[in-house]
Structure 1
């Protein structure tokens, strides 16, 4: 018996480990029909989706998803159902296996209650019917598939799984609102067939999600043209602007910078997401392990020729936004430097003026101080004179005029020294 070992686990260890096994591929049996619907879930909460899935499970008498689940699969009897919620979109996959008659004549959705289908979210981004057939069950030769099942449109397809199967589609929406995908099983097992179907659905889903950025790029291009022209006008005006014109130019540059930053905040996520989805499409195409079919455009070529230029347009617009924002920032910095230099000159002139006024004030203070010495001396000497006359009246032998004359320089000196000492004390306190 193995010893009971208890580990001090990281709190999220099991959650992180289980994430590698989340959203597993559903095995697929040949022949079969699979209907796949993906919609933007920005206006639909996970609780609403779980309720909708629970309604379907109740109709078939199956167990509903538990609270907190964001991916769920269940056997409903006549069909298999899978729900998965992602960051921007959610998907429903309906599968039924066994002989189904003519390809695309009906679908697994025909087994669903009509009132439940009516409650599906309205932001459907992708809806596809896929048919999985064996070689012997293919009603027509491979070269006639396009005319028979895809309305004569040009096919995109290849041998997949290094020749173990063949996949064909036209990436078009047909009259019933669904795209079509035909997979021919040469030697695929159930799990490989399920993986290949899922990859084909993901290629189309991520392709559509990547394309969401293209209308944004096209809509913002005229605004970038206007901003570019305005920036050129402002930088030209800066070279000949007078000092009085600088505040108005700086105000216009600030408003232009705000416009560009606002556009960046609105589009940066969309462009970044488009780049990530494009990389996912290319990765999923690589996982198909294609072998070319003569005369049929393979998936990787379709992606590079159709999706690649759209992504380059989005990247070009995103790069242009960043460059324009940097140019506006440089122009604003240059103009602010000019304004700061002007302010520094004004401040310097103001300081020089204040220095002159302080010097004049000091001269005036010295003049007033001299007058104060004279005034204080005059009144003090007058008091000394009165005191001398009073002493003479009392019989003291003193000459009032002589005492007054002697007191004048003594009092003046003492008053001047006192005022000087007081001024030094005040300056020391300051």
Structure 2
């Protein structure tokens, strides 16, 4: 919700990264403001808080990655335009309190909002330029010409950027509040979007190495004598680097896209108009921001493409391993078939020898019987003839008995 701001006014805005900063730390710091020692801790549960004190009001907002502090106060009537005027502005909030805000500051802005006629934009621009000295500025009319914003995007020795807003007399306080909020959010989200650029630049050498390694693995896939185990080890190592990079930086790249979308949205909400002779805020930001966003986008796409290439290479390697395994299995089956045939031949030989041996022993036993019968004159022929006649019958009987046993146990 935008604050109601009565002109003329000054805003001191600080945004800090809140990684490692707890809500309790921020609560303790807010309690150090004049008259806020009794501030309840549950007042910060809604991630939004507006405090009013003598001579100023403060808005606190906690987001997922950063926390914003906006201090609003009336602009003293004796303030004269000049390059050092805003840094010399007497603040109602203690300066050391601003310096000790918990977290790492990434945006610090001092904004002055004045009530001026904008019937002749060049004269309004000239007045606003008086706050910046000889430095080049960017400027835009906003809301169909009801206000004009001027800044130079320079960081002073004090650590603050300066912004001047001129609004038509009679501009509603709520509109002034919305204008200031959009401008402050615009710079905040622009700098948050830029946080992805150093990450993308730092990741570029790693991606180049991974691309080279993956190309090497793919080339070796075409070589028949390449070891599948070595290929798999190299592919796993390459995939691990990409997965680590995705896990470590994927959120930052996605956040960059989200913040950039908010920047474009805030620029559109300003309904900018051109001021002759200077760039608009939107033009300046897009020229500075677009290359960075393009780099981050390209890096994110490159990372995703590498992940997909690794998946395809993994599928190719899996196919190669499957084919090699199938070939080995076929060879094993062939060897097993040959071994089984050999075993069957050996079994047939053994069975033949067994038939001969059993027949021999049975005939030997019959020989004793025939000789005994001949001794008692109960055998009309000689024992040798009887044995010779018995051999075919014994052999047939042994063979028939063996086949029955074989069928009973093996089914064929």
Report the Cα offset of residue 154 of structure 1: 2.2
CA distance in 2, matches of 1:403, 1:76: 137
Per the alignment, residue 49 of structure 2 pairs with: 72
Q: Quick check: 1:96 aligned with 2:73?
A: yes
Per the alignment, residue 300 of structure 1 pairs with: 282
CA distance in 2, matches of 1:52, 1:387: 122
**Relative to structure 1, is the Cα distance of residues 221 and 414 closer, same or farther in structure 2, using a 3 angstrom cutoff?**
same
Contact 2:25 2:102 in 1 (8 A): no
Contact 1:57 1:63 in 2 (8 A): no
Report the Cα offset of residue 401 of structure 1: 5.9
Contact 1:53 1:64 in 2 (8 A): no
Report the Cα offset of residue 126 of structure 1: 0.8
State the secondary structure of the residue aligned to 1:73: strand
Per the alignment, residue 300 of structure 2 pairs with: 318
Gapped runs of 5+ residues in structure 1? 1-23
Picking from 189, 193, 196, the partner of 2:176 is: 193
Per the alignment, residue 345 of structure 1 pairs with: 327
CA distance in 1, matches of 2:192, 2:132: 23
Contact 1:46 1:70 in 2 (8 A): no
**Relative to structure 1, is the Cα distance of residues 146 and 194 closer, same or farther in structure 2, using a 3 angstrom cutoff?**
closer
Alignment of 1:259-408 (within 5 A): 259-386=241-368, 397=378, 408=391
The normalised TM-score by structure 1 is 0.82
194-203 vs 35-44, which moves further? 35-44
Q: Quick check: 1:210 aligned with 2:187?
A: no
Per the alignment, residue 4 of structure 1 pairs with: none
State the secondary structure of the residue aligned to 2:156: coil
Report the Cα offset of residue 149 of structure 1: 2.5
CA distance in 1, matches of 2:130, 2:34: 36
Per the alignment, residue 104 of structure 2 pairs with: 123
Report the Cα offset of residue 227 of structure 1: 2.9
CA distance in 2, matches of 1:129, 1:231: 51
Per the alignment, residue 40 of structure 1 pairs with: 17
102-111 vs 360-369, which moves further? 102-111
The normalised TM-score by structure 2 is 0.85
Per the alignment, residue 165 of structure 1 pairs with: 147
Number of equivalent positions: 400
CA distance in 2, matches of 1:157, 1:353: 85
**Relative to structure 1, is the Cα distance of residues 405 and 280 closer, same or farther in structure 2, using a 3 angstrom cutoff?**
same
**Relative to structure 1, is the Cα distance of residues 182 and 265 closer, same or farther in structure 2, using a 3 angstrom cutoff?**
same
Report the Cα offset of residue 389 of structure 1: 6.3
Please tell me the root mean square deviation across aligned C-alpha atoms, in Å: 3.1
CA offsets, 1:316-344, max 9 Å, x none? 22222223333343344334433433333
Report the Cα offset of residue 185 of structure 1: 2.0
Q: Quick check: 1:29 aligned with 2:12?
A: no
CA distance in 1, matches of 2:263, 2:386: 116
State the secondary structure of the residue aligned to 2:301: helix
